[in-house]
Structure 1
Amino acid sequence: MLENGQDCDCSCCDGGCCPDGEDLVMTLELDDGTQLVCSVLTIFPVDGKQYIALLPDGEDEEDGDVFFYRYSETPDGQPVLGCIEGDDEYEAVIDRFDEILDEEEYDELVPASEGEFE
């Protein structure tokens, strides 16, 4: 399930969209030819397109650089990363990612039983 309640359409995690307890990783090849191993934080939709948030291994999510890319898959399920084009698209992706972080932080602070009525 995606954060917005829609079914996940990526095959990287068999439709579970990055289940808890499993660390999904991706290796990026940088312009200088070096490779950077990153943890997949989440895959999420914005305006009908999928995006992925990657955190380089060894970085702290709150202090480290998070990389954002457009995300799609080949017909055989291989991930394809694309560039985010333009400031407006980038801002929309950052805003949605911030919302996701806020929702997760709220979920951690409020016990599941709180707010439920009998």
Structure 2
Amino acid sequence: MADHQHDHNHDHEHEFDEEVILLEDEDGNEHRFVLGDVIEVEGKSYAVLLPIDEDIEEGVIFRIEGEEGDDYVLADIESDEEWQKVVDAYNAYMDEEDDEEES
């Protein structure tokens, strides 16, 4: 899994026919995620992965570096500045989604 986890608590329900993404943490434990969203920030794409295992409460975000066939090539976000921009953009996106649902 990424060197760090990212705080994104969500109440999403997922269909189990979605493609499951397995990520391994630093202890060698595998955790299951699904692709929640893809967001664009300053011309770069980011994949927001949401956990489907009950023991994980936080989502993770990776920069999309390209594609191999039908799969994304994901990379860790290493810069705190880049990370903050992505988190801010994602939070704004989620606020817009919540506003639309309330309308």
TM-score using structure 1 length: 0.63
Contact 2:20 2:34 in 1 (8 A): yes
Provide structure 1 residue ranges, at least 5 long, that are not aligned to the other structure: 1-20, 111-118
CA distance in structure 2 between the partners assigned to 1:94 and 1:29 by the alignment: 22
Q: Which residue of 1 aligns with 2:25?
A: 30
Give deviations 1:17-69, integer Å, cap 9, x for gaps.
xxxx774431112232221101211011111111011121145xxxx312111
**Matched ranges for 1:8-47 at <5 A:** 23-47=18-42
Contact 2:20 2:33 in 1 (8 A): yes
CA distance in structure 2 between the partners assigned to 1:40 and 1:24 by the alignment: 8
**Matched ranges for 1:1-118 at <5 A:** 23-59=18-54, 64-110=57-103
Change (3 A) 1:67 1:75: closer
Larger Rg, first or second structure (1 or 2): 1
CA RMSD of aligned residues (A): 1.9
Of residues 95-104 and 68-77 in structure 1, the stretch that sits farther from structure 2 once superposed is 68-77
Which one scores higher on RCO, CA 8 angstroms, separation ≥ 6? 2
SS at match of 2:27: coil
Higher strand proportion (structure 1 or 2): 2
Contact 2:32 2:52 in 1 (8 A): yes
Provide structure 2 residue ranges, at least 5 long, that are not aligned to the other structure: 1-14
TM-score using structure 2 length: 0.71
How far residue 75 of structure 1 moved from its aligned partner, in angstroms, is 4.2
What is the count of residue pairs matched by the alignment?
86
